[in-house]
Amino acid sequence: MIAEASSIVPFTGAGISTECGIPDFRSPGGLWTRNRPIPFDEFVASQEARDESWRRRLAMEPTFAAAKPGRGHRALASLYRAGKVPGIITQNIDNLHQASGFKADDVIELHGNTTYARCIGCGKDYDLAWVKLHFDKIGAAPDCAECGDPVKTATISFGQSMPEDAMRRAAELARHCDLFLAIGSSLVVWPAAGFPMMAKESGARLVIINNEPTDQDDIADLVIRHDIGDTLGPFVGN
Ligand code: NAD
């Protein structure tokens, strides 16, 4: 299918990054399964929630900082370099597609990016070192130095509106590809999970690579219920 396709759009979830040491959301033992996600309205309303959110994120920093692209990321980057992949849609927030060689403009991040921080009021960006410095100094989540509003990782939390431009560009890619690869996603987080279906309805072949069943297996042309690194490894360096 990869050989026959002229426009391949990968759509990735947390499963592509587990071999890089970043736990996924729902697998047993995943760090996120032990912590209830903090919804956006709670983050905005409560200093305590903001403190807890940053405490968790800073505790994860050594893991994110050490993570390097895995075989799945590198295989997709090879297909991108070969001109087969116009862009990639990801639910991941770990920056590993950019690190594997995708231009930032060609990575459509549906849920933002956790490797930097952003003021929820004026949108000013901060690096995590700045946040850590302030957190350590004042013992609490910092506010924006410009406007005083809370600073949050540049991710989309539950209850926060989706980034319009990313949603529009993802729909464009899903509608115009001939092969859509849904990789390492349980396909339960909406509206992101709508893109595989959208691609299929627009005439693309749909392949799902995930080591457990998903709700969309029935509509896929091929389901590979196997490890992502092992499955995509042969495409690294092509
Ligand atoms: P998910 O945790 O709901 O699903 C991941 C799926 O990948 C699971 O079905 C799991 O069985 C499968 N999987 C894990 N490792 C695999 C492997 N090596 N080979 C094959 N399959 C494997 O993830 P999701 O659908 O992306 O939704 C989670 C949400 O949480 C996303 O919206 C994302 O923003 C966020 N998140 C991101 C990261 C990250 O950036 N790396 C990590 C955790 C959570």
Catalytic position from the list 111, 134, 176, 226 = 111
User: Do 196 and 236 fall within a single domain?
Assistant: yes
**Beta strand pairing status for 88-90 and 107-109?**
parallel
- Closest ligand 1 atom, residue 214 Cα: 9
In degrees and rounded to multiples of 5, residue 27 shows phi and psi of -65, 150
What distances in angstroms separate CA 228 from CA 1, 12, 146, 147, one per listed residue?
17, 11, 43, 44
Q: How far is the CA of 29 from the centre of ligand 1 (A)?
A: 12
The rounded Å distance from CA 137 to ligand 1 centre is 34
Average pLDDT of the segment spanning 114-129: 97
Q: Are residues 185 and 233 in the same domain?
A: yes
User: Which residue, of 121, 155, 189, is where some domain finishes?
Assistant: 155
Q: Same domain, yes or no, for 222 and 167?
A: yes
Do 151 and 57 lie in one domain? The reply is yes
Q: Do 30 and 87 lie in a common domain? A: no
Known catalytic residue at 176: no
Looking at 129, 155, 181, the residue that finishes a domain is 155
CA angle centred on 150, ends 149 and 155, rounded to 5°: 125
CATH code of 120's domain? 3.30.1600.10
* Distance of alpha carbon 227 from alpha carbon 90, whole angstroms: 18
Q: Which of 98, 127, 155 is the last residue of a domain?
A: 155
How distant, in Å, are the alpha carbons of 2, 50, 128 from that of 60?
Answer: 36, 15, 12
Q: How far is the CA of 136 from the centre of ligand 1 (A)?
A: 31
Q: Place 2 in a pLDDT band, splitting at 50, 70 and 90.
A: very high
- Residue 228, pLDDT above cutoff 80: yes
Q: At what angle do helices 164-176 and 194-201 cross, to 10 degrees?
A: 40
Query: Ligand 1 atom closest to Cα of 93?
Result: 40
Mean pLDDT on 71-97:
98
pLDDT of 235 over the 70 cut: yes
| 27-36, 85-94, 167-176: the lowest-pLDDT one | 27-36
Residue 121 reports pLDDT greater than 80: yes
Residue 146 Cα to ligand 1 midpoint, Å, equals 35
Here the CATH number for the domain that contains residue 1 is 3.40.50.1220
Average pLDDT, the chain: 95
pLDDT band at 31 (very low <50, low <70, confident <90, very high): low
What does the CA dihedral 73, 17, 231, 107 come to, rounded to 10 degrees? -30
Q: Read off the pTM.
A: 0.95
126 and 170 share one domain: no
Same domain, 133 and 145: yes
Cα-Cα-Cα-Cα dihedral of 164, 187, 75, 172, to 10°?
A: -30
Domain count, the chain: 2
The β-bridge relationship of strands 151-155 and 112-119 is antiparallel
Residues with CB under 6 A from ligand 1: 13-15, 17-19, 22, 24-27, 32, 91-94, 111, 184-186, 188-189, 210-212, 227-228
Check whether residue 4 and residue 73 sit in a common domain: yes
Distance 189 CA to ligand 1 centre (A): 10
CA-closest residue to ligand 1 atom 30:
25
The closest residue, in CA terms, to atom 38 on ligand 1 is: 14
Contact 120, 152 (CB under 8 A): yes
Helix (H) or strand (E) holding 55: helix 47-66
Which of 11, 16, 25 best tests ligand 1's pocket when mutated (most atoms within 8 Å of CB)? Answer: 25
Nearest CA to ligand 1 atom 37: 92
Q: Does one domain contain both 14 and 93?
A: yes
Q: Which residues pair with 227 in a beta bridge?
A: none
Domain that holds residue 44: 23-66+112-155
Structure tokens at 94: 């770990």
Mean pLDDT of 219-228: 98
Ligand 1 atom closest to Cα of residue 185: 25
d(CA 111, CA 116): 13
Q: Under a CB-based contact definition with an 8 Å cutoff, are residues 236 and 75 in contact?
A: yes
Q: Are residues 101 and 185 in the same domain?
A: yes
How many Cα neighbours within 13 Å face the side chain of 47?
Answer: 7
User: What number is the average pLDDT over the span 200-216?
Assistant: 97
- CA 110 / ligand 1 centre spacing (Å): 14
* Residues 201, 116 share a domain: no
Minimal-distance CA residue to ligand 1 atom 41? 14
Q: Summarize pLDDT for 160-200 with one digit per residue, the tens.
A: 999 999 999 999 999 999 999 999 999 998 999 999 999 99
Verify that 91 and 196 share a domain, yes or no. yes
The pLDDT of residue 34 is above 80: no
